[in-house]
Structure formats: structure tokens, C-alpha cells
Amino acid sequence: MYKTISIILLLFLFSGAANAHIDTLKKKIDIARVRYHENIEKEQKLALRFNGGNGEWIAASKNKAINALVTQALIKDVDILKDTIESDTNLDHRLKVKYLSGLENLLKGFNTGWRTRTFNAVLAGELLENYKALMAADIKKQDIRPIVENASYEVGNININGSGSAMYENQGFEASRIILFRKFCRKYPDKILSMLEQYHDVPFADSLVKAAAYRNPNQLYDYAAATRTQTGRLIRRNSDSLVKAIVGIAGSKSGQQYYPFLDEIVQGRLTMPEIFKVMDDNLQYYRLLVKTQISYAGRLIKKDTPLAYDKLLFKLQDRAKNIFIEQVNALHDLQDNARFKIVDPLTPQELYYLIVLGEDVMYTSSYKGIFNRMMQRMAVPSGDSLLMSVQFDRFKKFIRLAAGYNKLDEFLQTMPDSNSQRLMMAFVRGLEKSGTLEDAVDVADSYGSIKNPLVQKLIDQEIERNLLQARSKQDKRAVAIYDILQIIFQSSQDSSIDVSTRLNIPPVYRVNYKDLTDDSNRVVQQVFFYGDQDGKESYANFMSMFTGSEWTVKRKAEWVEIKSAKGKPVLIYANLPLDYEKGLDSVAQAHLRQYLEKNKLEPGITIHRGHSYWVGSTIRNLPPTSRIVILGSCGGFHNLDDVLKTCPDAHIISSKEVGTRIINEPILKAINDDLKSGKDVEWLSIWKDLAAQFPTGDAKERFDNYIPPYKNLGALFIKAYTRQMGSIE
């Protein structure tokens, strides 16, 4: 009751005050100081209009009582203080100007901080009271340090560090700035180095450099390279062993080559001359990276994170992709003995890291060739021994890829049943502990590729056990992960389960015809082709589908337009596979996109035709209106996540291996036949009819590699998690 009366009283007392301060002044203003009053009123007006304010109230929040308090402080109370300064006979003109200017600085600081979200508007009252206390002490020539010490950093930063601070003459001003810098360092430890240039002479500067080195060595490395700055000089004079090591590396011409081994150098396990010896040898340098990565993986298990660990991993991945995998991919037309020659010297462990770090650039044939060599190079093929030798580093990624490329059973058969069972149980555990959803999506993607009933049963049991445990701990994130996995795994075995209702996601077994049409009731499709030899052959095969009387084909300079001649309007636009080395295929895609946008043609279906390494380009140019996306080899979590960020409700068809025309074309024909008839796209019936077309042999094996939307479990998981938890990590 008391609070209600107080709020009503505040609102009543304040009514009309916001405008009154501008129109009337109770105190006579000396003409020499009019502009200082006007500057204050200008900042008050800005505050009253910002964030949807109506000119009478400061719209600091949705709470009217808070708005009233903020407005009271910055309008009425500031007016009172302004008039008090003006009428104070104990203050001469210079002092009045100083304190009025300080009041303007307060309002400017508030407005800027509120606008940039670096200052909470609710602190307006505290900000003004702090200024009053500082001004009172300054008038009495008292040291302001105790007042600054007791204030929050945000408040002190405006009143002391602001460019128009009125406290610049106070005996405690410089010391107060150092007090605030200490507060800043405690509050924003990652920003210490960015501020140190201004505070390089503080007595604790060396301690800050050392702390920054251990907290963020990567950042210190960047600053250490700046030899002409005060911060750089501070870093170079520091005697700490880590700082000295970073300075030594940063000062080297090959610093980026040494830096991934920072922890090894600091611990004395490696020297810069030892790294220098292998630096120009791609094989030996990669080998050293792998050896160090395995060592670091063992330390991470013990919660001991090595310095610059992320840089080592980045360098290892860079070498895996750009030295080894790139060459294997580029030689895909050669015989295997020539194509894989570059990886012949690599150990099973070194080949393992090519697999787990190169998935987004590796061709299917490259994966299989490297996997086979990894298995052959083991003296006694033993998958569990291999994983132990790499400290189980990224083993969930390895399992997912093996499942996706139909190599998991072969891998599991190299170890005793008890070990393979424990491995698959570990594959499912601890998914909520990862900083992202990648491990969970890897598990989801793998499940549909696992044919061994015993392994599937083990995973089901482990999912159930982890779900019960998560519920008992009331771990919301873990419950969401395991509950979603359980539902989609059950639905993949039993199509009678209404997975869309259970997970609160759009239908997964069908796409309604009306959802694929644009405003003119047309179904528009966009097909992405690329100008390499494979793309040209794929384009020729694609166009052979539209030679009959049911379609009309119109070829233009950069794309082809295909229209249904019978039935409902279906329009297909495909860019020509122009010279990719000159970038003409990308230009054609861009021009086609502009044409579609200009003519309000909104693709409901997007089709990628080409090698898996072009998939990323298609996804980057994905029309957000797409409800069906046919990608071919999808590439796991990152590609699925990128597709669903652009098209949250998309039905994704992907392949575990390279797409092939003998499967692609029947899929497209089945979809187009339904669309021309105005029917919904029913995945269950389409897949049943397609399966009948490929009953045995090589064709069946290829068809089985295609994943229909209702079995694209990784995509279903991301959709469900996003809706249940509000966002994707």
C-alpha cells in the first residue's frame, strides 16, 4: 500500500514538470552563463525523446514508476541543482561555469551510455547524488577519493572520466582515475590491454600485463607486436616467463608458426630452434602439430587447458585441409597410388586428424581412401586402440562421419564387442556438457546410419538413462537434448509417431502445396549449378528431364527458365554452369537472384547440383523462402545449422555420399509430378515408390544413401531444440 501511494504521489508531483523546466526559471541567470543552462536543457530534451519518449517522461523501462524516478532525477532534480549553482553567492563565475559544465557532462554521459547500453538508465538517481557529493567535497577543497571508491564504476566513469569532468582541479582527481581504472580492470579483464595505453604509468601496470598474459595470451601476442606503443613497451619489459616467451615469439618473423606451441615453449618441452628445424617441412611440421594436439587432448581431459590451445587446433586444421586434403581432392581423377601419395608417410593417428578436422572440405572418395589407409596402417587393426592413442579426441565426430560414410560397422568390428558397446555408450553421454549442439547433432545424424540392431538398442538405452538422470537433476538443457533425441529416434523406427506434434515443429512427413506457392500461386524452384566438368555433366543430365511436351524451356544468357506446360504452374530457374575459374557461374547465380527478386519470384524449393565442396556457396545464397532444400552431401551440423538459420522450416534432403543422377532425377520427377497436380508433397509415399524403383544391387545401395526429410534426424533435432529452448548455441 505504501509503495502504491508513493508511486501515485511521484506521478502527481511530477506531472508537467518535464516541460516546465524549459519554460520558466525561478532564478535569474547571468547572461554570461545562459548558454551553459541551455546546454543542460538540450541534453535533458534528448533524454526525454530517446527510446520512444514523448518529451514528458524519460522512457528508461517499461515500468512507469522507474521512469518517474529517472525523470525526477534528471529533469526536476537537475533543474534544482542547476538553479542552486546559479544562485550560490559563495561561488564565483568560474566555479559556476565549472559545475554547470560538469552537470552537462553528467547528462551527456547518461545519454551516450544509455544509447550504447553501457550505462543502466536506472542508475540516474545514483549518478546525480554522486555528482552532488563530489561537488560538495570539491567546494570544500576535500579529497574526492573516498567518494569515488564507494561509487560504482559506471557512475564514477561518467563523473570523473568524462571529457567535461568538473573535478579536474581536485587534489584526488588523478588518484580517483586510477581507482576507477582498478574497478574497470576487475569488471572488464578482457579489455585491460586496450586501456593500458592510457594508464601505462600506474604502479600496478606490470601486474596487469602478467594477468592479461595468463588470461588471454592470444590478445597479449597481438599487443606485443606493437613495438612503438606504451603498452608494447610495458609488455617487453615484463620479467614473467610467459610474457617473455610471447614477446620472443611475437618478435620473430615466423611468429605465427611458433605461437601454437606456446605452452610447450613455456614449459620447456620445446624450444624455438627445435620448431624452426621442421617449420619448412610440411610433413614434419604437421607431425609435430599432431603430437602436440594429442598431448593437449590428454590434458584437457584433466581440466588442464594449455595456453593458446585454440591456435594449435586452428593451425592443425589449416595444415590438414590446405596441405594434405586439398591435394588428395585435386587429384581425384588419378589412380589411388598417385592421388594418395602425399598421405603415404602418415601414421594412423595423423590420418585420423585429417578425417576429424577436414570433413567440410573432404570429398567422399577422399574420406574413404584416407579411412582405408588409416585402418591398413595399424599393425593390428584395432579401433579402440586407435582412439585411445589419440586420447579419444573428437571421437564423436569420427563416429558420426564413419556412420555417415557407412564405415562404422567396419570400424566397430575391429574391437571386442564389450569395447564397441562401451564406445557407443560414451558416444551418447555428456551431450549437454559441450558448449555447442554439435555433439548432439552428430549423434542424431549417426543414428539413422547405424544398421546393427544391438548398437541401436544400446544407444536407445543410454538415451533413456541420460534423460532420467537429467530430469532428476532438473537440468533443463540436458532434458531437452535427450528428450528430443529419444522422440526422433523412436519416430525414425515408427512412422505412426506424430513427431511434429510431440516436438512442436511443422509437419515432417509432408509439405503442403500451398506452403510452396508464391503470391501468384506458382511453385518456383531455383537450381544451383557450378562450372566444373561435373557441373556441366550434371546440367546436361538435368535438362534431359524436360524434353517432353509437358515442359517449355527458354534459355537465356546466364540461366534457363523451365515452365510446366500442363497442370499447375511450376517454374524452374537454373543458372548455366559457366566457367568457374573465371567466376562466371557465381556471377550467373547473382544475376539470376536479382532477376527473381525484381520479378517477385520467390523460390519455395532450392536444389544444389554439384560436388560437396560447392554446398557452402549454395547455402550462402539460399533463398529464405525455401521450404524444400535438396543438398546432396550435406556436411553435418554446420551446414544443417546454416540452412535452418536461413530457412527455419525447410525440409532437407541430403545424401550420405555423392549424389547421383540415377537417384536425383527420380526424386525431382516425383516431386514435380505432385506439384503439377496441385498435391501436397508426401515424403512417405514418394520414398515408398522410389524404393520400389531401386529394389536391388548398386541402385538400391545408392538410393539408401539418400536421407528423406523425415529421417534427417540432425535437422529435426535443430528445429526442435530451437523451438523448445528459444535459440541454437
Cα separation, 407 vs 414, in Å, equals 12
CA distances from 658 to 364, 441, 705 (A): 6, 21, 9
Find the mean pLDDT for residues 630-636: 65
Which residues are CB-neighbours of 175 under 8 A, at least 6 positions away? 145
Q: Which pLDDT does position 679 carry in this prediction?
A: 94
Domains of the chain, each with CATH number or no CATH: 2-187 (no CATH), 253-373+389-393 (no CATH), 402-494 (no CATH), 511-725 (3.40.50)
Question: What would the pLDDT profile of 327-368 be if each residue is shown by its tens digit?
Answer: 998 898 889 999 999 999 999 999 999 999 988 778 778 899
Q: Which three cell numbers stand for residue 429?
A: 553421454
Question: What would the pLDDT profile of 35-53 be if each residue is shown by its tens digit?
Answer: 999 999 999 999 998 888 8
Question: What would the pLDDT profile of 489-527 be if each residue is shown by its tens digit?
Answer: 988 888 788 888 898 888 888 999 999 999 889 999 999
Q: Which pLDDT does position 634 carry in this prediction?
A: 53
Q: Which pLDDT does position 253 carry in this prediction?
A: 78
Cα separation, 556 vs 367, in Å, equals 38
CA nearest neighbour of 618 among 598, 604, 632: 632
To the nearest whole percent, how much of the chain has pLDDT over 70? 94
Q: Which pLDDT does position 524 carry in this prediction?
A: 96
Task: Evaluate if residue 371 carries a pLDDT over 70.
Answer: yes
Q: Which pLDDT does position 15 carry in this prediction?
A: 43
Find out whether 105 and 130 touch, Cβ atoms under 8 Å: no
Amino acid at 497: I
Q: Which residue has the higher pLDDT, 224 or 563?
A: 563
**Angle in degrees, 0-180, between the axes of helices 217-224 and 205-215, rounded to the nearest 10:** 120
Find the mean pLDDT for residues 25-35: 78
Residue 629 dihedral angles phi and psi, to the nearest 5°: -125, 120
CA nearest neighbour of 438 among 155, 641, 620: 641
Task: Evaluate if residue 157 carries a pLDDT over 70.
Answer: yes
Find out whether 623 and 602 touch, Cβ atoms under 8 Å: yes
Q: Which three cell numbers stand for residue 615?
A: 554446398
Q: Which of 347-351, 430-434, 671-675 bottoms out in mean pLDDT, i.e. has the lowest?
A: 430-434
What is the length of the chain? 729
Element (H, E) at 259: none
Cα separation, 399 vs 390, in Å, equals 14
Task: Evaluate if residue 79 carries a pLDDT over 60.
Answer: yes
Q: Which residue has the higher pLDDT, 345 or 442?
A: 345
Q: Give the confidence band of 577 by pLDDT, cuts at 50, 70, 90.
A: very high
Sign of the CA dihedral 156, 157, 161, 165?
negative
Find out whether 111 and 46 touch, Cβ atoms under 8 Å: yes
Cα angle 24, 126, 180 (rounded to 5 degrees) comes to 125
Q: Which pLDDT does position 232 carry in this prediction?
A: 84
Cα separation, 215 vs 209, in Å, equals 10
Find the mean pLDDT for residues 203-227: 85
Task: Evaluate if residue 673 carries a pLDDT over 60.
Answer: yes
Q: Give the confidence band of 24 by pLDDT, cuts at 50, 70, 90.
A: very low
- The residue whose grid cell reads 544451383 is 528
Q: Which pLDDT does position 203 carry in this prediction?
A: 87
CA distances from 349 to 294, 296, 400 (A): 9, 14, 18
Q: Which pLDDT does position 487 carry in this prediction?
A: 93
Sign of the CA dihedral 308, 310, 312, 314?
negative
Which residues are CB-neighbours of 98 under 8 A, at least 6 positions away? 166, 169
Cα separation, 617 vs 690, in Å, equals 29
Q: Give the confidence band of 464 by pLDDT, cuts at 50, 70, 90.
A: very high
Q: Which pLDDT does position 711 carry in this prediction?
A: 83
Amino acid at 638: H
**HSE-up of 649 (CA within 13 Å, CB side)?**
15
Q: Which pLDDT does position 658 carry in this prediction?
A: 60
Terminal-to-terminal C-alpha distance of the chain: 44
Q: Which pLDDT does position 17 carry in this prediction?
A: 41
Cα separation, 281 vs 345, in Å, equals 13
Find the mean pLDDT for residues 312-341: 92
Find the mean pLDDT for residues 63-90: 93
Task: Evaluate if residue 76 carries a pLDDT over 90.
Answer: yes
Task: Evaluate if residue 405 carries a pLDDT over 70.
Answer: yes
Over the range 501-533, which residues count as b (16 or more CB within 10 Å of their CB) and which as e?
ebbebbbbbbbebeebbbeeebbbbbbbbbbbe
Q: Which residue has the higher pLDDT, 378 or 14?
A: 378
Q: Which pLDDT does position 96 carry in this prediction?
A: 94
Find out whether 204 and 211 touch, Cβ atoms under 8 Å: no
Q: Which of 18-27, 78-87, 139-148, 198-207 bottoms out in mean pLDDT, i.e. has the lowest?
A: 18-27
Cα separation, 159 vs 480, in Å, equals 47
Cα separation, 3 vs 1, in Å, equals 5
CA nearest neighbour of 164 among 216, 108, 217, 214: 108
Task: Evaluate if residue 11 carries a pLDDT over 60.
Answer: no
Find out whether 104 and 39 touch, Cβ atoms under 8 Å: yes
Q: Which pLDDT does position 320 carry in this prediction?
A: 94
Q: Give the confidence band of 7 by pLDDT, cuts at 50, 70, 90.
A: very low
Q: Which three cell numbers stand for residue 24?
A: 520558466
Q: Which pLDDT does position 5 carry in this prediction?
A: 35
Q: Which pLDDT does position 19 carry in this prediction?
A: 44
Q: Which pLDDT does position 600 carry in this prediction?
A: 93
Q: Which pLDDT does position 27 carry in this prediction?
A: 58
Q: Which pLDDT does position 547 carry in this prediction?
A: 85
- In eight-state DSSP terms, residue 553 is E
Which residues are CB-neighbours of 254 under 8 A, at least 6 positions away? 276, 279
Q: Which residue has the higher pLDDT, 26 or 35?
A: 35
Burial class (CB in 10 A: 0-12, 13-18, 19+), 150: exposed
Element (H, E) at 594: helix 584-598
Residues facing 559 on adjacent strands:
575
Burial class (CB in 10 A: 0-12, 13-18, 19+), 469: middle
Sign of the CA dihedral 115, 120, 122, 124?
negative
Find out whether 322 and 354 touch, Cβ atoms under 8 Å: no
Cβ count within 10 A of residue 37: 21
Cα separation, 390 vs 345, in Å, equals 18
Which residues are CB-neighbours of 568 under 8 A, at least 6 positions away? 521, 523, 675, 676, 677, 678
Find the mean pLDDT for residues 422-439: 86
- The residue whose grid cell reads 571421437 is 395
Find out whether 318 and 325 touch, Cβ atoms under 8 Å: no
Element (H, E) at 510: strand 510-511
Instruction: Kindly report the average pLDDT of the chain as a whole number.
Output: 87
Task: Evaluate if residue 2 carries a pLDDT over 60.
Answer: no
Which residues are CB-neighbours of 2 under 8 A, at least 6 positions away? none
Q: Which pLDDT does position 633 carry in this prediction?
A: 58
The string of DSSP letters for 663-717 reads HHHHHHHHHHHHHHTT--EEHHHHHHHHHHHS-SHHHHHHHHTEE-GGG-HHHHH
Find the mean pLDDT for residues 611-630: 88
Cα angle 222, 225, 227 (rounded to 5 degrees) comes to 135
Q: Which three cell numbers stand for residue 355?
A: 578425417
Sign of the CA dihedral 339, 341, 342, 345?
positive
Q: Which pLDDT does position 403 carry in this prediction?
A: 84
Find the mean pLDDT for residues 307-318: 91
Task: Evaluate if residue 6 carries a pLDDT over 50.
Answer: no
Cα separation, 551 vs 361, in Å, equals 37
Task: Evaluate if residue 202 carries a pLDDT over 90.
Answer: no
Q: Which pLDDT does position 575 carry in this prediction?
A: 96
Q: Which pLDDT does position 20 carry in this prediction?
A: 41
Cα separation, 85 vs 48, in Å, equals 23
Task: Evaluate if residue 16 carries a pLDDT over 80.
Answer: no
58: phi > 0 → left, psi -120 to 50 → alpha, else beta; which? beta
**HSE-up of 405 (CA within 13 Å, CB side)?**
23
Sign of the CA dihedral 57, 62, 68, 70?
negative
Find the mean pLDDT for residues 563-590: 94
